């Protein structure tokens, strides 16, 4: 039986996977969740271990996994099944995000900052990189809007139109102590598509 949870599938659709892959998929979910909970408990995070869920999410295309601290959820890309050694590493990578935020409490931390790196070391993946090197398709974005600083002439490509006053940070730092200055407000110079 296949359970749809938001955009995440607990199991792959039969037409998208072989019988062997479906069986492999079914067996991995609970084992990964158990392993993840054990790792969290071993690192002093029993409170979030009790709430943790691990699921396969077919909506993930370019990323190997995602961690959501608020929902205590780790989502893994089903394409990891084509690279079995990467499943454990990706699980630990995403767990490190949850563990780092748990340790930081309410304090905001960088997604791949020192707290995350320490959590990676504690979870046995010392020297973990920020991004995977798996052969997943990559997304190519074309900048539809080009903005320019009137002072230094630096150009800033953007996917979306800037909706509020934004200034060139380098010029604001150099000439106004890092504070916003309307003299350095970015100006739209090129637009492709509809406004």
- How far apart CA 75 and CA 52 sit, in angstroms, is 11
In this structure, are residues 171 and 152 in contact, taking their beta carbons and an 8 Å threshold?
yes
In this structure, are residues 128 and 169 in contact, taking their beta carbons and an 8 Å threshold?
no
Q: How far is CA 76 from CA 67, 71, 80, 93, 124, in A?
A: 9, 15, 8, 11, 19
pLDDT at 28: 66
Q: Which two tokens stand for residue 177?
A: 């102590």
In this structure, are residues 148 and 156 in contact, taking their beta carbons and an 8 Å threshold?
yes
pLDDT at 86: 86
Closest CA to 92 of 58, 50, 43: 43
Question: Torsion angle of alpha carbons 177, 179, 184, 190, nearest 10°?
Answer: 130
pLDDT at 10: 44
Q: Which two tokens stand for residue 165?
A: 């006053």
State CA 195 to chain mean position distance: 29
pLDDT at 131: 77
pLDDT at 11: 43
pLDDT at 145: 93
- For each of the chain's 195 residues, which pLDDT tens digit applies? 334 444 444 444 434 444 444 434 555 667 899 999 999 999 999 999 999 999 999 888 878 889 999 999 999 989 888 888 889 989 999 999 999 999 999 999 999 999 999 999 999 999 887 777 676 776 667 888 999 999 999 999 998 899 999 999 999 999 999 999 999 999 999 988 654
pLDDT at 135: 66
Q: Could you give the residue ranges of the DSSP H alpha helices within 10-64?
A: 19-42, 46-49
Q: Which domains are delineated in the chain?
A: 4-122 (3.30.2010.10), 145-191 (no CATH)
**Which own/partner pairs from 134-140 qualify as long-range (CB within 8 Å, at least 24 positions apart)?**
134/64, 134/79, 134/80, 134/83, 134/86, 136/61, 136/62, 136/63, 136/64, 136/77, 136/79, 137/61, 137/62, 138/62, 139/61, 139/62
In this structure, are residues 58 and 96 in contact, taking their beta carbons and an 8 Å threshold?
no
pLDDT at 193: 62
Q: Which two tokens stand for residue 168?
A: 């060139």
């Amino acid at each position: 039986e296949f359970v749809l949870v938001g955009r995440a599938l607990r199991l792959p659709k039969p037409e998208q996977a072989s019988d062997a892959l479906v069986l492999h998929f079914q067996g991995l979910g609970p084992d990964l969740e158990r392993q993840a909970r054990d790792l969290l408990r071993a690192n002093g995070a029993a409170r979030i271990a009790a709430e943790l869920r691990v699921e396969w999410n077919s909506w993930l295309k370019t990323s190997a996994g995602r961690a959501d601290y608020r929902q205590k959820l780790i989502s893994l890309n089903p394409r990891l099944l084509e690279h079995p050694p990467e499943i454990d590493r990706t699980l630990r990578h995403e767990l490190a995000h949850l563990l780092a935020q748990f340790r930081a409490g309410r304090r905001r931390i960088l997604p791949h900052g020192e707290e995350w790196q320490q959590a990676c070391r504690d979870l046995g993946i010392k020297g973990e990189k920020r991004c995977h090197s798996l052969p997943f398709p990559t997304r190519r974005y074309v900048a539809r809007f080009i903005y320019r600083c009137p002072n230094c002439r630096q150009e800033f490509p953007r996917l979306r139109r800037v909706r509020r006053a934004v200034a060139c940070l380098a010029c604001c730092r150099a000439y106004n102590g890092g504070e916003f200055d309307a003299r350095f407000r970015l100006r739209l110079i090129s637009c492709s598509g509809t406004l």
